Chains A and B, each alone.
Chain A
Amino acid sequence: DTAVSQTPKYLVTQMGNDKSIKCEQNLGHDTMYWYKQDSKKFLKIMFSYNNKELIINETVPNRFSPKSPDKAHLNLHINSLELGDSAVYFCASSQVYVDTGELFFGEGSRLTVL
C-alpha cells in the first residue's frame, strides 16, 4: 500500500495553462505539505496544512492555490503556468506538526512547462 500517493507523476503543459496535482495519504496523519524541488535539487517548502487548516504559507505566487478537502488529501492547483514553475513537486505528510517529526514523502510530480 502506497503511504503518500501523488498524481500525475509527469505533467507536460504549455505556458499559460492551468493544472492540478493531487495528493492522498493513508497514514492517518494530521499534517500535509507541498515542497518544490528545483533543477539543483534544492527543496523548498510551499504550504503546510494541519487538519485542513493552512498553517504554513511561504512566499509563493498567488497562482498557486492549495486545497485540502479533508485531512487525507491536499491538492495543488497552479494557474497561468510559467516556465519557472518547471520543477518536481513533492507532497508529504507527518503525524503531528507541533513535533516536527518524520515526514513521509510521495514519489513526486515532475512538471514541465513549455
Chain B
Amino acid sequence: SQQGEEDPQALSIQEGENATMNCSYKTSINNLQWYRQNSGRGLVHLILIRSNEREKHSGRLRVTLDTSKKSSSLLITASRAADTASYFCATAEPNYKLSFGAGTTVTVRA
C-alpha cells in the first residue's frame, strides 16, 4: 500500500511566488526524502531529512518534518519556470524500503 501521500496533487503559481507542498505518511520512518521529476525524465534527489531532525534547508528549498503528525512539507521560495516539475516525497522505512507517493505537479507561470 502507498506510504507517502502528497498534497495538493497539482499547484500552479506565478514566477517569484513560493510553492508549498505537503506529505503525510503512515508508519515510522528512518528518514524522509524529496525528489523532483521533470516531464519524461528520471527522479532527481533534492533533500533528505532524518527522523530526529525538524527542519532542513538547501538553497531555495526548506523541508520540515513533524514525526508526531507523520507529515512533512517542502517549500520552494522565489519559484522559477525551471521549477516546473513533479515533486515526490519518499519515506525510508525500517525495513530499508523507500516508498514514494504519486507526487505534486507544480507549474510555474512566467
User: Which A residues lie at the B interface, using CB under 8 A?
Assistant: 4, 33, 35, 40-45, 48, 55-56, 90, 92, 97-98, 100-108
Contact = CB atoms under 8 A, between A and B. Distances in A.
B43 interface: yes
B97 A105 contact: no
Interface in B12-43: 30-31, 33, 35, 37, 40-43
Interface of B: 2, 30-31, 33, 35, 37, 40-45, 48, 86, 88, 90, 92-93, 95-103, 105
B30 A100 contact: yes
Contacts, number: 64
Contact of B86 (A41, A44, A97, A100): A41
Main DSSP-derived SS at the B contact region? strand
Contacts of A102: 33, 45, 48
